[in-house]
Structure 1
Amino acid sequence: MLKTFKIFIYTPSKPFHFSNPSASLFYNSLLRSPFLTHTPPEAHLFFVPFSPDTSTRSLARLIRQLRNNHPYWNRTLGADHFFLSPAGIDYSSDRNVLELKKNSLQISVFPVTSGYFIPHKDITLPSFNPSPLPLSLNPVQNSTKASLLGYLRWDGKTEPNLVNEFKGDADFLVEEKSEPLNYVRSLKESKFCLFLYHGDVAWMVEAMARGCVPVVIVDRPVQDFPFMDILRWSDMALLVAVRHGGAERLKQLLNGVSEELYMEMREAGMAGSKHLVWNEEPQPLDAFHMVMYQLWLRRHAIRYARREFV
């Protein structure tokens, strides 16, 4: 893959940037990567760059221009193309945007709004959270020394009723804002780190790297974890629904995890976190290369019959 995989990038109509850190790191790394080719016939995939603020009408016009000005879109109706949209795009009545949504590979940032992600083809990026201290300087602590059952960094708005239950239970620690050193200490002192789906998940990778097993509180199956083709999230994280029972129900579930299973998940999370880390300069097996590997796995696009559109 490293030597043969090639991507052609269409020239954007005007300069733009991504405010989302993960999207920005991926986009800038791609622009500097050896995977690029300026010869379209050599390309396995084609990247369609556009601003995250692009309207549906402008996006439809962009795809129409690709269809009319280049031969590559019509060969597969966009199935060998991919695009980067941090929040994902919704379905549209415009057939140009609909082809982009249904056929092209979407790269977005975890978690994605329900309905904006198609599991069999789309990819999510792990969130980027600048670590307050180098991970290598913070050895993880043995679970037998953990003084807290669960730790939650709260965004101040997601699931306030449930969070209030956590605040009233001595086995859980909830912090809205904390100094970096306090934050690191809280991770080390906790067996489990709690994440509210669609809440603040930017610190999940750091929690895993420091030996805190993630617990994702969600009331439906999660199909948009980063790199699900590569990482077995069921071995690294717990998915729990606590709509009925609240904090007490969650405590029962966590206390029911055997020490053997806990240590296995902890070790798997620490190992898996290495593939979820972003670097300014991509390193082997880091998040950027995991995205490229997932694109590589999807390079054999289905060739749809060509159709002409008015």
Structure 2
Amino acid sequence: MMRTFKIWTYREGDIPLVHVGPMKSIYSVEGHFIEEMERKGNPMAANHPDEAHAFFIPISVAKIVHYLFTTEESYGFFERMQAIVEDYIGVIAERYPYWNRSNGADHFYVSCHDWGPLVSRGSPKLFENLIRVLCNANISEGFIPNRDVSMTEINGPYNNIPDVSSGRSPYNRSIFAFFAGGNHGFVRNKLFQHWGSKEDNDIQIYDYLPKGQNYSELLTQSKYCLCPSGYEVASARATEAIYVGCIPVIIKDHYALPYGDVLDWSQFSVIVAVDQIPDLKRVLQDIPFEKYLEMQKKVMEVQRHFMVNIPAKPFDVFHMILHSVWLRRLNVLVDRP
């Protein structure tokens, strides 16, 4: 893929809504991807659009929300957001032949904002072929796995690059299962209902950490890190777990796991149905320790596929995203002149 796949990034549009994205916080992967695609010397960038196999629309939904959304003028915002993207497509479709010859099937945009999927809802016919690369990959809300790409949510720190380590030895992790985060959304409500009030040293659930406790350090001490849905299915908790060698426990409904075309999540994570939350402790305790060690080893092996590098390096998260786009682009027939 890296030797042959070429992408053209459209030049149209102006900062801050286009060509730049957030580089910190839970939407940072969106900004990192846009920056890498526009970085001088990117070996996968086409020199001319005629050479390209795929076309990147460098709009940042997170930036649109940041600069244009206000609670005082929230009515009709989704329609305005959709209109911005539709207008952009109208411009490139008028100036170039590439969108029209495939009806957008070899084009893609990247969004980690919860509202990223809503961009395409205003004109379903216009977007029916477009590849959407989304963190909020909820199948029940219109995510189509064989067309769209599920992307990892990454909570980027202020120095831009998340830390990755081995954490503690799998033989020296004193916390059996751990979660700390806000009690919002149906799944977390259910998790807190069954485990938040229980005095159970094995399943440690916190809305707010006790004073003096460090979130990152607790992750490194945990065997299993719980990753429940919040308001949406997207969450940075799976990557946070992988970054410190903790086995992610995915507790979500209708979630398309990132890079599932090539990564077998059953080898390095535990997938627990939402209705199994009352049996969570039993489900995890039924995993033999030898199996846990195998899974933890796999977590360490897949770390490189979730890492952020500047510039990007082979097999990191940037290349995992593009590989997923490439696989979907292979299914597209384009009539070239």
TM bin (shorter chain): 0.7 to 0.9
Query: Any idea what SS the aligned residue of 2:321 has?
Result: helix
| Counterpart AA for 1:14 | D
Answering whether residue 62 of structure 2 is matched by residue 61 of structure 1, we say no
1-side partners of 2:93 and 2:164: how far apart? Answer: 47
Structure 1 residue 242 displacement after superposition: 4.3
Pick aligned residue for 1:212 from 227, 246, 256: 246
Structure 1 residue 194 displacement after superposition: 0.6
Instruction: State the match for 2:222 in structure 1.
Output: 190
Answering whether residue 69 of structure 2 is matched by residue 41 of structure 1, we say no
Instruction: State the match for 2:266 in structure 1.
Output: 234
| Counterpart AA for 1:202 | A
Instruction: State the match for 2:177 in structure 1.
Output: 150
1-side partners of 2:164 and 2:100: how far apart? Answer: 47
Pick aligned residue for 1:107 from 107, 130, 133: 133
| Counterpart AA for 1:222 | Y
Instruction: State the match for 1:283 in structure 2.
Output: 313
Flag the 1:93–1:174 CA change in 2: closer, same or farther, 3 A.
Answer: closer
Flag the 1:213–1:260 CA change in 2: closer, same or farther, 3 A.
Answer: same
2-side partners of 1:185 and 1:193: how far apart? Answer: 12
Structure 1 residue 252 displacement after superposition: 1.0
2-side partners of 1:156 and 1:256: how far apart? Answer: 27
| Counterpart AA for 2:286 | G
Q: Return structure 1 stretches of 4+ with deviation > 6 angstroms.
A: none
Answering whether residue 85 of structure 2 is matched by residue 85 of structure 1, we say no
Query: TM-score, with normalisation over the residues of structure 2?
Result: 0.78
Deviations 1:89-135 (A, max 9, x none): 245463xx5332x2121112255474242100211221223479943
Instruction: State the match for 1:15 in structure 2.
Output: 15
Answering whether residue 189 of structure 2 is matched by residue 163 of structure 1, we say no
2-side partners of 1:92 and 1:201: how far apart? Answer: 22
| Counterpart AA for 1:183 | Y
Query: Any idea what SS the aligned residue of 1:243 has?
Result: helix
Query: Any idea what SS the aligned residue of 1:150 has?
Result: strand
Deviations 1:246-304 (A, max 9, x none): 44x11111111112222221111221122111123212211111122222323334337
Instruction: State the match for 1:222 in structure 2.
Output: 255
Answering whether residue 284 of structure 2 is matched by residue 258 of structure 1, we say no
2:242–2:300 contact (8 Å) kept in structure 1: yes
| Counterpart AA for 2:9 | I
Flag the 1:15–1:258 CA change in 2: closer, same or farther, 3 A.
Answer: same
2-side partners of 1:18 and 1:240: how far apart? Answer: 33
| Counterpart AA for 1:25 | H
RMSD: 2.9
Query: Any idea what SS the aligned residue of 1:229 has?
Result: coil
2:34–2:58 contact (8 Å) kept in structure 1: no
Q: Percentage identity across aligned positions?
A: 29
Structure 1, gaps ≥5 residues long: none
2-side partners of 1:18 and 1:163: how far apart? Answer: 34
Deviations 1:45-103 (A, max 9, x none): 11122241362233333323333321111211111111123243245463xx5332x21
Answering whether residue 168 of structure 2 is matched by residue 140 of structure 1, we say yes
Instruction: State the match for 2:70 in structure 1.
Output: none
2-side partners of 1:82 and 1:129: how far apart? Answer: 23
Query: Any idea what SS the aligned residue of 1:11 has?
Result: coil
| Counterpart AA for 1:76 | S
2-side partners of 1:243 and 1:300: how far apart? Answer: 37
